[in-house]
Amino acid sequence: MFSSRPVARAIPIVAATTALALLVGCAATPPALESEHRERSSTSVDKRNLRSDSALASRVDSARPGCSAAVGVRGDVVWAGAGGLADLVAGVPITTATRFEMASVAKQFTATAILLLQRDGKLSLADPVATHVDGLPAWGRTVTLDQLMHHTARVPDYWTVLDDDGIGFSDPADHARILDAIRRLPRLEPGNGYSYSNSNYVLLAEVVNRVSGTPLPTFLDERVFAPLGLDMELTPNLVAADVALSYDANDQFQPPAWSAYGAIGIVTTPSELARWGDQYRAGDIIQDDFAVGASDQGTGEYYAAGMDIEVDGDLNHNGRFGGYVSTFTVSADRETTIVVMCNGHGADRFGIADALWAIWDAPEASPTDEPSTEEADS
């Protein structure tokens, strides 16, 4: 069980009393001073918005594939911006309403589905995957759902089989075809411990299908997206007027054709992902079990339920699928979420994210003038 770096802090009674006193003090603030405080807060956010606009614009070429980004603070989107083109031929600009494939950032949602089913009593992370998925080699009887979730199963990535079959990235391969490729992996990778593989999450998606009797896309819509009011859908390779096209590092159209879900496949905007990020602070769908059993990556970071726990306590996951690249980070205090999604393989997603963190990673980023319990405890 992972316990060396808890994801949430229990607030001592003394600290809680102090927080209550601070909140009461805020309530008793004279109206004129309260108005002045709110004006200062609003001015601070306005300045950050302008700096964020500039940070994005300086890192995105308006005539090339581009990026969209958003900042969420305690569940509220306080800034969103976009630049570049969603379609180079038609000259369609990227806006904050443009949707992107989030690539591997989707893994946290598959892991969440598994944890929901465990809370329902319908499976256990200790189950061998062969308990729920048939046709697997002998390793299916020993590899557990826990190992799949935390990338310690040592199941090779499915692309190795597709490559042997002469199936390239732009050649069609649906979920069933890729699941069949995983069934044809005869042995596990040698060694022990952490080894990242997309095969793990395709298998977890199939576990959700078998255990719930509902395909993962429908399960997530019914249990996660709809209850939270999130505009997200699990539809790999979705083609729609508001979905940015995928481009390689040379700005050549790169349509992905592999459509297995579980590891990738969720389409949305950065603003919706920024709203979702608050689940790690105040959610009931994300609970403490997301960090149980997190695996040591050997770098000081741990891999939890589809999410890295970084050395400084931040949560992060990056994604890349064809020309779609993304990065999703929640601050160590779980107050702030920053998301960048791009449709060009060479896009500067990390540079944009770093610039935004430099602007927003400070207490005055809060959209309200009331201190959180974490702020009051510091």
**What pLDDT, on the 0 to 100 scale, is given for residue 201?**
98
Summarize pLDDT for 222-257 with one digit per residue, the tens: 999 999 999 999 999 999 999 999 999 999 999 889
Q: Is residue 220 part of a domain?
A: yes
Q: Is residue 4 part of a domain?
A: no
Q: Dihedrals φ, ψ of 321, to 5°?
A: -145, 105
**What pLDDT, on the 0 to 100 scale, is given for residue 362?**
65
DSSP 247: B
Residues 6+ apart with CB under 8 A from 194: 150, 151, 152, 295, 296, 297, 298, 303
Question: In which residue ranges of the chain is pLDDT below 50?
Answer: 1-38, 40, 365-378
**What pLDDT, on the 0 to 100 scale, is given for residue 45?**
85
Long-range contacts of 218-222 (CB under 8 A, 24+ apart): 219/113, 220/109, 220/113, 220/266
Q: Is residue 6 part of a domain?
A: no
Q: Cβ of 64: how many Cβ atoms within 10 Å? A: 16
How many domains in the chain? 1
CATH number assigned to the domain comprising residue 217? 3.40.710.10
Q: Is residue 5 part of a domain?
A: no
**What pLDDT, on the 0 to 100 scale, is given for residue 1?**
33
Residues 6+ apart with CB under 8 A from 306: 107, 108, 109, 110, 111, 112, 149, 201, 317
Summarize pLDDT for 63-87 with one digit per residue, the tens: 999 999 999 999 999 999 999 999 9
Determine the structural domain holding residue 188 and report its residue range.
13-377
Q: Is residue 7 part of a domain?
A: no
